[in-house]
Amino acid sequence: MACVVIVGSQWGDEGKGKVVDLLTEDARGIVRFQGGNNAGHTLVVGGEKFIFHLIPSGILHQGKACYIGNGVVVDPQVLLLEMDKLDKRGIPVGPEKLRISDRAHVIMPYHQAMDLAREKAKGKEAIGTTGRGIGPCYEDKSSRVGIRIIDLLEPDVLKAKVEANTKEKNFWLTQYFNEEPLDAEHIFKQYLEYGNLLRDYVGDVPAELNEIYSDGENLLFEGAQGIHLDIDHGTYPYVTSSNPVSGSVSSGAGVGITRIDDVLGIVKAYTTRVGGGPFPTELEDETGAWLGDKGQEFGATTGRPRRCGWLDTVVVRRSVMLAGITGLCVTKLDVLTGLAKLKICTAYKTPEGDVVDTIPASLERLAQCQPVYEEMDGWNEDITGARSLNDLPDNCRTYLDRMAELCGVDLSIVSVGPGRDQTIVLKNPFA
């Protein structure tokens, strides 16, 4: 029996979905514990491409149950749409396969309206959110006025909450942001209907997960976003509104931290970031554009081009520390094939000339830090067929080994292509 957590160690889009899909083989339950449909996981299975925003990537497997924990913010419309799409592709999602926490908060139309209005008002200072209402939904949760999944099943409670919240949001929308108001009655009816459609899927997720644990079976926790988008530990305010660190499994799914055995940190072989905010190793040149093109770096949720740059091990080392990462999963190594020279950032240089291993809390200060690089020779050989480390060219091996050494964690998995089989598994945490 083991509990394994998958986290993104950069700014999201590290390729967590593929690793989750791979490890799902050995797990009984696959669990999301934070974030919402701001996430986008692209999977390629049997040459077919799947994109999920809310449903855990493990859904493609037979005989597994997927869980949406209380820490997730759920847009029921998006969830129902994903269920429907899977159904149409011959993968029915019944209530034995998908469980939704009765305590998860619901993203309402006014959350999305507020998200968009606030971003618009910020102009050049915009965070570059996904515009899905994630932040405002977590705001309401903290303000103790949020609507939870259980409320969708209780018409009187839902009606009162929707009326009160819509009234307040409409004040902000019309009086402060100059936007159109929303209709409470319409929202109430629509969300009551969503409740009816989801009723059978709703349950006490912590109790169900702990039962699986007590039965001696494996659980896999699927983190969304990345640790440097964490609201506490990331590059605030250019962050998301949840905590992608591994510790959130406890608050966001109801499984205690003493149950966790391993934390796998997913590291893209280079770095990307979508949206605004600091990015010390960003390449605003031909190489950056080349990486974006070769790596197909477009947001799975918004379609925005991702910013690209060299691997930053200051960023990854901090994630190792913050999330207690016990194994590294390197993804998209094949994208680097064909570059004559590769750079790895090993430290930052402060304006005073000190070489440091810290990310300053002050964004002004961070902007003054320069990455310190180590340069390495690249490789030209196609590595997408590699199935063991011995199949990799020497320079590629050297790059990988240096990555692991600088991050201070052993390699668990190396991905050399989008397909499920294009993978080198060195250490399976469930084995």
- Nearest residue (CB) to Mg ion, 264 versus 342: 264
Choose among Mg ion, ligand IMP, none what residue 181 binds, the Cβ cut-off being 5 to 8 Å by kind: none
Q: Which residue matches tokens 């660190």?
A: 245
Q: Please report whether residue 240 would count as binding ligand IMP according to CB under 6 A.
A: yes
Q: 9, 24, 38, 346: which one contacts ligand IMP (CB under 6 A)? A: 38
Here's the x/- map for ligand IMP, 193-232, by CB under 6 A: it reads as -------------------------------xx---x---
Verify binding: residue 40, Mg ion, rule CB under 5 A. yes
C-alpha 47/C-alpha 44 separation (Å) is: 6
Binding window for ligand IMP (CB under 6 A); candidates: 37-45, 97-105, 322-330, 336-344: 37-45
State how far the Cα of 366 lies from the Cα of 359, in Å rounded to an integer.
Answer: 7
What is the C-alpha separation between 13 and 9, in angstroms, rounded? 10
Nearer of residues 113 and 184 to ligand IMP, judged by Cβ: 113
Judged by CB under 6 A, the number of residues near ligand IMP is: 20
Binding partner at 224 among ligand IMP, Mg ion, none, C-beta below 5 to 8 Å by kind? ligand IMP
* 131 backbone dihedrals φ, ψ, rounded to 5°: 70, 25
Q: Which does 2 bind (CB under 5 to 8 A by kind): ligand IMP, Mg ion, none?
A: none
Q: Does 135 bind ligand IMP (CB under 6 A)?
A: yes
Smallest distance from Mg ion to CB 53, Å: 9
Distance of CA 309 to the CA centre of its chain: 19
- Residue 15's binding partner among Mg ion, ligand IMP, none (Cβ under 5 to 8 angstroms by kind) is none
- Does 309 bind ligand IMP (CB under 6 A)? Our answer is no
Stretch that binds ligand IMP, among 123-131, 324-332, 383-391, 398-406 (CB under 6 A): 123-131
In this structure, are residues 74 and 68 in contact, taking their beta carbons and an 8 Å threshold? yes
Amino acid at 18: K
- CB nearer to Mg ion: give 195 or 299: 299
Count the alpha carbons within 13 Å of 16 in the hemisphere toward its beta carbon.
32
The crossing angle, in degrees rounded to 10, of helices 76-88 and 184-198 is 40
Give me the helices (H) in 12-133, please. 16-24, 76-88, 109-122
In the numeric block, the tokens 């997913």 are attached to 266
Question: Does 40 sit near ligand IMP (CB under 6 A)?
Answer: yes
What torsion do the CA atoms of 337, 341, 347, 350 make, to the nearest 10 degrees? -130
Kindly state the DSSP code that residue 173 receives in the 8-state scheme.
Answer: I
Contact 407, 328 (CB under 8 A): yes
Instruction: State yes or no: residue 134 binds ligand IMP (CB under 6 A).
Output: yes
Contact 296, 329 (CB under 8 A): no
Angle, to 10 degrees, between the axis of helix 109-122 and the axis of helix 155-171?
20
Count of residues near Mg ion by CB under 5 A: 3
- Dihedral sign, Cα of residue 163, residue 165, residue 171, residue 174: negative
Q: Which is nearer to ligand IMP, 43 or 65 (CB)?
A: 43
Question: Would you give the end-to-end CA distance of the chain in angstroms?
Answer: 10
Which residues pair with residue 57 across a beta bridge?
Answer: none
Contact yes or no for 425/413 (Cβ under 8 A):
yes
When asked if residue 13 is in the footprint of Mg ion (CB under 5 A), the reply is yes
13 included as an active-site residue: yes
The site string for Mg ion over 275-314 (x = CB under 5 A, - otherwise) reads: -------------------------x--------------
Q: Is 132 in the site for ligand IMP (CB under 6 A)?
A: yes
Q: Which residues contact 212 (CB under 8 A, 6 or more apart)?
A: 28, 29, 219
Nearer to Mg ion, 224 or 400 (CB): 224
Our measurement of the distance from residue 116's CA atom to the centroid of its chain's CA atoms, rounded to an integer in Å, reads 21
- Pick what 330 binds: ligand IMP, Mg ion, none; C-beta below 5 to 8 Å, kind-dependent: none
Q: Which of 10, 70, 241, 326 binds ligand IMP (CB under 6 A)?
A: 241
Residue with smallest beta-carbon separation from ligand IMP: 275
CB of 230 to ligand IMP, least distance (A): 10
The contact set with ligand IMP (CB under 6 A) reads 12-13, 38-40, 127-130, 132, 134-135, 224-225, 229, 238, 240-241, 274-275
Binding positions for Mg ion, rule: CB under 5 A: 13, 40, 300
Active site residues: 13, 41
